Structure 1
Amino acid sequence: MNIQEFNRIILKKQKQLSDLMHRKMPVLAGNLAKRHIEEDFRKGGFTHNGFHKWQETKRQKSGGKGAGSRYGPLLSGRKYLSGSIEYAPGDAQVTVFTRVPYAAIHNRGGVLHPSVTPKMRKFAWAQHYREAGKDKKKDTFWKRLALTKKEKLTVTIPQRQFMPATPGPELTKKVSGKFEQEIGKIINS
C-alpha cells in the first residue's frame, strides 16, 4: 500500500465516521432511548441513576377484579401514554418527546382543578349505574361525583417521572456502547 492509497482509505473512513455521527447515530440513539423508556413503563418505574419504582395507583391498591386494577401505574389497555414516545433525529443530535397532553403532569406531578360540567355529571351517573348494578342506592365514587355541589375539583397527580430532561447514566452507557460498536464496524471494514 502506498501513501495515496492510505490517504484514500483514511478519507473514506473519515467520511463514514462523519456520516455515522451526523446521520446514523441520532436515529440509533433515538431508538435506544425510546425502547429504554418503554421498558421503564413495563417495569413500572424510572431508570435514572438507579431504578425508582412508581407509586402505586388507587385502582391497584383497591384490589378490584376489573381489568383496570391489573394495569401498572401509567398503563392502560390502550397503552396511549407508553406508546406515544417518539424521537426526532437531527444533525448529530436527537430529541425524544411525547405529544400526549397529560404527559407533563404525570412526569412532574402537580395539582389540577377541573370544572364539574353537566356532561361530567351525566358520565358519572352512567358509570354509577354500570358499577352499582341492581343496587341503585349503593354509594359509589361516581354517585358522589354526580351529586357534588362543587363546581371545581382538586385532583392531585403524584410525580411518576418517565422522561428525564437529560439522559441518565444507564441510557448514556447504552448509547455509548452502540456508538463504539458502530465505530468498530467502520474501522474494521
Structure 2
Amino acid sequence: MVSDGRVIVRLVCHRDVPSDTRQIGELVLRQLGHQSAKSLGNELVDKSEQTRESLPPTLRGKKLEELAQKFAEENFDAKQRQLNRGWITKRFTKGKVAWQTQTQTTISSPLIADGKLLAMANNGNSLLMISTDPKAYTSLGRATVKAQWVPSPSIVNGKLVLRMKDKVKAWALTL
C-alpha cells in the first residue's frame, strides 16, 4: 500500500525463523524513511498521547491539523518538527481505544462489514464475528470453519469467502 508517498509493507512469515531474505530491521526501516517516536523521548511521547486522548472525537480536518501543528511548534525543537510533524498529525487522528480484548488469532487480516468484525482464530479453525459497537466488546458468534491455515476473510456477493488449503469455500452470513 502507498500512503503519503511511503510504501507500507506487510510481511507474513509462517515460522519465527530469521532469514536474510525476509527480515526487515531498523536499518531497512530507516532507509525507507520510517521515523520512530523513540527520538522524542518517553516524556514527550506521553505528553502527546495525553493530548491525543483528550481531543474530542468530533475534531477533524483543518482544525485537527492546526492543533497538531501548534503542539509540534510548542513542544518540538526544529529537528523534531521536521522529522515528526506528519507523525504527530497522524497520531492525533487516532481516537481513544473504545474496548480491547485478546483472542487467539494468528496471521490474518480481519474484515469489517455491516458493523461486524470478522477474524480468524485458532490457526484458521474458527471464525469470530464481533460487533464493532464502540461501547462494549460483544461477541456475535463463532463458527468452526477448519480453514487449516489462517486466510484473510473477504465478502463477495454477500457471502463470506475463505481460501482453504486446496479449495475456496463460501458461507452465507446470518445472525
- The TM-score with structure 1 as length reference comes to 0.20
Higher-strand-fraction structure: 2
Structure 1 or 2, whichever has the larger Rg, is: 1
Query: Which structure carries more helix by proportion?
Result: 1
Structure possessing the higher relative contact order (Cα contacts under 8 Å, 6 or more residues apart):
1
